[in-house]
Structure 1
Amino acid sequence: MKKFGTAVILAGGKSKRMGFDKQLLKINERRLIDNLRKKLGDLFDEIIVVTNKSEYYLGYTDKIITDKIVGKGPLSGIHAGLVEASSQYVYFVACDMPNINLDYIRFMKKRLEKISVKACITKFGKWIEPFNAFYSKEMIDDIEKHLTQNRRSVNSLIHKLPVYYIEEEEARIFSPNWDMFLNLNTKKELNDYRNTINNQD
């Protein structure tokens, strides 16, 4: 099995704060998830979309899957992606995170090349950033045990596992304003992001 090769886009959230399904988010008339797929295609052989609305992806050539353990939040999506992935380490991003940083992904891969851990995750102060991260297929059993105990928190699981952490100071070399971890949860955040993009143009 290849060490790297698969990227997973999690697209199964409830989008309550946005007011509409974030899988349909558009930036400059193009679906955000399509922008993510295109960018990730530069670094990964296999793109997997985990979704609760597979009908949104008719005609897509990527692998479109649904949760295998339903109704347990983001960990359900991580679990499904890991089960279906064809590489040992799998890159995960959410469908509402517009700023893919390919240099940072390469940096994480390089850090993982010579060590054996179950995840590579970035710290934000004392907190962690659960996406824009790598997880190993070796976590599948850990996730299943965690969920059978009715525990859904990614953080509570991660803290029990051998993880390589990248400190905030080092990550900010690649993203000084932390925008590679930006996710769009509300219409205001979406409009602010669109305005930022338009001003750059």
Structure 2
Amino acid sequence: MKKFGTAIILAGGKSSRMGFDKQLLKINERSLMDRMIQKLSREFEEIIIVTNKPELYIGLSHKITKDILKDMGALGGIHAGLSHSSSSLAFVAACDMPNINMEYVRYLKDRLNDNNSLGCVTKFGDWIEPFCSFYSVELIKNIGKYLESGRRSVHGLIKDVNISYIEEKDARKFSPNWDMFLNLNTREDLNKFLLNAGGWSN
């Protein structure tokens, strides 16, 4: 099994705060999801999209899947994506992240090459950033049991397993303003991003 061939995009959220389905987000008249797929395809051979609307992706050559454990939030999406991964470690992002930093992705890979941990996530103070992270397929059973017990926190799941952590100060060398972890959760977030994006074309 290849170590780093897979990227998972979570697109199954309810988008209640945005007011419309974030899978349909467009920036400069182009789908944000299309941009993400194109960017991640330069680094990963396999793209897995976890979505509650697979009909939106008919005709794509990528793997499309629904949650296996329904209504379990982001961790349920990670579980579904890992369950279809052909790589031992998969990169996970959300469909509303416009600023994925591929240099940082490669940095995470390098860190994982130096150890045998079951993933790599970034710290934000005492908390973590659950996305723009790597998770191992060896976590599938752990996640399933954790979700079935009624818990959904990614932070709660990984605190008891062998995970590598990137300290905030090290991550900020790649993204001083932390925008590589930006999620467009609301219309206000989107409008602010568009206002500041300028000639954004990544």
- Cross-structure match for 1:46: 46
* Deviation sequence 1:141-169 (CA, Å, 0-9, x none): 10011011111111110111111000000
TM-score, length basis structure 2? 0.97
1:84 aligns with 2:91: no
- Cross-structure match for 1:15: 15
Alpha-carbon distance between aligned partners in 1 of 2:82 and 2:192, rounded to the nearest angstrom: 33
Match runs of 1:1-201 below 5 Å: 1-198=1-198
Alpha-carbon distance between aligned partners in 2 of 1:131 and 1:48, rounded to the nearest angstrom: 15
Alpha-carbon distance between aligned partners in 1 of 2:71 and 2:120, rounded to the nearest angstrom: 25
5+ residue gaps in structure 1?
A: none
Alpha-carbon distance between aligned partners in 1 of 2:163 and 2:64, rounded to the nearest angstrom: 28
Alpha-carbon distance between aligned partners in 2 of 1:182 and 1:200, rounded to the nearest angstrom: 14
Amino acid at match of 1:174: F
Compute the displacement of 1:198 (Å): 2.4
Secondary structure in 1 aligned to 2:7? strand
Secondary structure in 2 aligned to 1:97? coil
Amino acid at match of 2:92: F
Taking only the aligned residue pairs, the percentage that are identical comes to 57
5+ residue gaps in structure 2?
A: none
* Deviation sequence 1:26-46 (CA, Å, 0-9, x none): 111111011000000110000
With over 3 angstroms needed to count, the CA separation of the structure-2 counterparts of 1:115 and 1:195, relative to structure 1, is same
TM-score, length basis structure 1? 0.97
Runs of 4+ off more than 2 Å? 198-201
With over 3 angstroms needed to count, the CA separation of the structure-2 counterparts of 1:199 and 1:106, relative to structure 1, is closer
Alpha-carbon distance between aligned partners in 2 of 1:104 and 1:73, rounded to the nearest angstrom: 25
Q: Number of residues paired by the alignment?
A: 201
Amino acid at match of 1:115: N
Amino acid at match of 2:179: D
